[in-house]
Amino acid sequence: MQIGMRGNPRTLDWLQPSYDLGYNVVTMAEFKERGIKTVIDETLEKIGDNPVYITFDLDSLDASIAPAVSNIEPGFTGFTIDEAKKLIQSVKNKNVIGGDVVCLMPTKDHKNNITSMLAASIMFEIISVIAYN
């Protein structure tokens, strides 16, 4: 599953590599239209009992809460922290075997280190769903 893809596409087929690799893609626009519950339900159905590895891309968070990321997309709404946490927590009864948090740019962070703290919070959630099992 890839959930929350957004931004200015560089080509008309910008999602084709994801489809070619077999990902079920839910763009941010689709996520906002369908709602978190239906996306979570679809995700749980797709992953079944398979091992799950979570890669959380900080670029998927809204730029207003996570400004220090590699590919900031200020023109497109991203996840709120509540949405991100709900998505991660939704797999706590699944076979989560690992995870990572990517795209933090500490040199771009505010003096209060808000993006770094969000990255730590996201990693805590991933570790928690692993530990739950």
Low-confidence residues of the chain: pLDDT under 50: none
Question: How many CA atoms lie less than 13 Å away from 75 in the CB half-sphere?
Answer: 4
How many structural domains is the chain composed of? 1
Residue range of the domain that includes 98 = 2-132
What's the pLDDT score for residue 88?
A: 98
CATH number at residue 107: 3.40.800.10
What's the pLDDT score for residue 105?
A: 96
The residues pairing with 54 across neighbouring beta strands, listed in sequence order, are: 99
What's the pLDDT score for residue 11?
A: 84
